[in-house]
Structure 1
Amino acid sequence: MTDALRPMAARPRMYEQVLDRLRSYVAEGGLSAGDRLPPERDLAARLGVSRASVKQAIVVLEVQGLVEVRHGGGTYLVRDSLDIEPVERLVERRRRLPDVLEAREALETKLAELAAERRTDEDLAALRFSLAKMAGEIEEGKHGVEGDRLFHAAVTAAAHSSILAEFMRSIADQITESRNESLRQPGRPSRSLAQHRAILDAIAAQRPGQAAAAMRRHVRTVAKVRLLDWDPEEEGDESG
C-alpha cells in the first residue's frame, strides 16, 4: 500500500505566519508596552507578504487586546510581549459568543427586573461594594473584571430566584469569557461602570421596568466586541 495519498498537513494561513514573526520581532527587539510597531506597509515589504496578511495579523492582535490601533497614528503594544492565543481557540470563542450573549440578555434582564422587586438592604450593600471594587480596579489601570463579576453575581443574588441562579451558574465559564472580551475593549471599563450604576439606581428605587431596560442596554454594549467583527477566513490577495 502506498502512502502517497495520506492526508496533507494544513498550511498555516499567511497571517498566522506573520503573527509568529511579529511575536519574535517584539521579543528579540526588547519592545515593551507603549512601543510602536512598524507601519503595515513596511512590515509587508520586510516580510515579503501582502498588506492584507499584515492587516489581518494586526486585527488578531487587536482582538486579543495585545495592541492598540490608533487610526492615523499607528499600532502600539499594550503589553510587553505578544503572548498570542492560538487562532483556533479564538475562532471557537467567536463561534459561541453570540449564543452566550443572547442567553445573558434573556437571563440578566429578568434577573435585574426581579432584583428591583425583591432586593434587601443586604443585597444593596453587596451591589454597592461591587461597584466600589470595580471603580478601584479601574483607577489602578485594570479592567475591573473582579468588580464586574461581583456586580452581576450580586444582581443574581438580589433576584432571589434559585432556578435562574442555577441557569447562570451553568454558563459561568462562558460568561467569564464574554466579560473578559468586553472589558478589554478600549474605554469599555468606565462605560460598564456607569451602566452598572444606572442598574443599581433602578434596583435601589425598586423600578423593575427601568432596571430591566438598563440591564438590556448594558448587555447589548457587552456584545459590541472587536472579536465579532473579525473574519478568520479573510486572507486577501497574496500576490501583492
Structure 2
Amino acid sequence: MVSEAAEADPLGRVAKPRLYEQLVTLLLGYIESAQLGPGDLLPAERELAQRLGVSRATLVQALVALEVLGVIDVQHGNGAVLVYRPSIATVIKGLREHRNRLPEIVEARSTIEVKLAGLAAARRTDSEMEAMDAALDVMAAEIANGGKGLNGDELFHQAVTAAAHSAVLAQLMTFIAEMVLETRMESLGQPGRPEQSLASHRSIAEAIRAKDSKAAAAAMQAHIELVSDVDLLK
C-alpha cells in the first residue's frame, strides 16, 4: 500500500525525454561545439542521421521541432540553415510548451475551418474556385520539386476562407494563423504527408466545386484529422 507521504511527494517523477527531444539536445550541443552562427549550414540529413545512429525519419522530427521554434530554416536544395543559437534549456522548454498546446490548436481548426469549408461550398464564386485550383497547382509543383508544399497549402486555406465570405470567421483564422502554421509545418514534415495532404485538399476542393456544403465540411474534418496526426503529439 502506498503511503500518503509518497502520494503527496512534491518532487514527483521526472518525465522521460522523448527521442526527438534527446536529438534536439544533441543537435544544439553540436551547434555550440562547432561554433555555428546564423546563416551557417548544418550537415546533410543523411550524415547527421549516420553520426547520431538514428533513422532519417526520426532525425526529421527533431529538425521539424527546431524549425517550428525558429532555430533553423530547412531550405529545399540547401538543407538546414541556422537562424540563431539558443540555449538548450530554452529550446526544450519551448518545445514542451508547444507540444502541450497542439491539441488545442487542432480543436480550434476543427471548429473554425470545417464551418468555413461548408460556407465556401455555398457561397464561393467562380474566381474564388480558380484561386483554390491555383493554390493546389502551387502545392503540387512544390512537392514535385522535392519540397513540402507549405506555400501552396497556406494559399489553399486562405482561398477557402475568402470563399466563405464570413468576416468574423476570417478574423478568427487570422488570430490563430501563426499557431496553424506550426501544425502545418509539423504535418508536412512527416514522410509522405505532403502527397497525402494534397490529395485531401483536392477532395475539399471538389466538394466546394460541387457546392456540396455537407461534403465540403466532412472533407475538411477528414483533412484536419490527417494533419493532426503528427509525431510531436505522441
Give the TM-score normalised by structure 1: 0.69
Distance 1:151 1:167 in 2: 17
Listed one character per residue, the Cα deviations across residues 53-89 of structure 1 (whole Å, up to 9, x for unaligned) are xx8xx968624338xxxxxxxxxxx946788882222
Task: Give structure 1 regions of 4+ aligned residues with deviation exceeding 6 angstroms.
Answer: 24-28, 81-85
Counterparts of residues 149-168 of structure 1 (less than 5 Å): 149-168=154-173
Residues 208 and 216, structure 2, Cα contact 8 Å, conserved in 1: yes
How far is the alpha carbon of 1:222 from its aligned partner?
1.0
- Helix, strand or coil at the partner of 1:37: helix
Aligned residue pair count: 190
Larger radius of gyration between Structure 1 and Structure 2: 1
Aligned to 2:61: 62
More relative contact order in 1 or in 2 (CA 8 Å, sep 6+)? 1
Aligned to 2:45: 33
Question: 2:124 maps to which residue?
Answer: 119
> Any conservation in 2 of the 1:63–1:227 contact (CA below 8 Å)?
no
CA distance in 1, matches of 2:199, 2:144: 14
Partner of 2:147: 142
**1:122-173 C-alpha deviation (Å, 9 max, x unpaired):** 1101000000010111111111111000000000011111111111111111
Percentage of pairs with the same residue: 41
Alignment partners' CA distance in 2, 1:207 and 1:184: 31
Q: Which has the higher helix share?
A: 2
Is contact 2:200–2:219 with CA below 8 Å preserved after alignment?
yes
Question: In structure 2, what is the equivalent of residue 101 of structure 1?
Answer: 106
Per-residue deviation at 1:191? Answer: 0.5
Structure-2 residue corresponding to 1:5: none
Change (3 A) 1:89 1:39: closer
- SS of the residue 1:220 aligns to: helix
| Distance in 2 of aligned mates of 1:32 and 1:64 | 11
| TM-score normalised by L of structure 2 | 0.71
Q: C-alpha deviations, 1:78-117, integer Å up to 9, x for none?
A: 9467888822221121111111110001100010011111
Distance 1:171 1:199 in 2: 21
